[in-house]
Amino acid sequence: MAQEVKATAKYIRIAPRKVRIVMNLVRGKSVADALAILKFTPKVGADAVEKVLRSAVANAENNFDMDVDRLFISSAFVDQGPTLKRIHPRSRGQAFKILKHTSHITVAVNEKE
């Protein structure tokens, strides 16, 4: 079996649950289909996932001499990164917490047999 080639983007400033919606659309698809889906998906996470997918394809092509036309997404997942904690001042001296979530996006591609 051919080797799985990975690409990762860390500390992306989008909540993981928003990116997972996009990730579920492309998991298991061929690279050409996935790029077409991501191009027309009106979600914020689509741009980040597309960037990581293109990086994984470039890694496979340049480092492992794989055929780009035969590549498919073998695994794709989103992990939660560190949360940035911010404070929003409110009336009467109160302070409300704002949690800014980050994501680690990983996409792995492989060649079809």
In a domain, 38, yes or no: yes
| Rounded CA separation 10/8 (Å) | 6
pLDDT confidence of residue 101: 97
pTM, 2 dp: 0.90
Q: Show the beta-strand stretches assigned E in 25-94.
A: 71-80, 84-89
Those residues of the chain that have pLDDT short of 50 are none
Number of domains in the chain: 1
In a domain, 67, yes or no: yes
Q: How far from chain centre, in Å, is Cα 38?
A: 11
In a domain, 82, yes or no: no
pLDDT confidence of residue 1: 54
In a domain, 91, yes or no: no
Residue-averaged pLDDT of the chain: 94
Note down the domain range covering 36. 4-77+103-111
In a domain, 16, yes or no: yes
| Rounded CA separation 43/65 (Å) | 32
- The CATH number covering residue 53 comes to 3.90.470.10
| Region of residue 14 (left: phi > 0; alpha: psi -120 to 50; beta: else) | beta
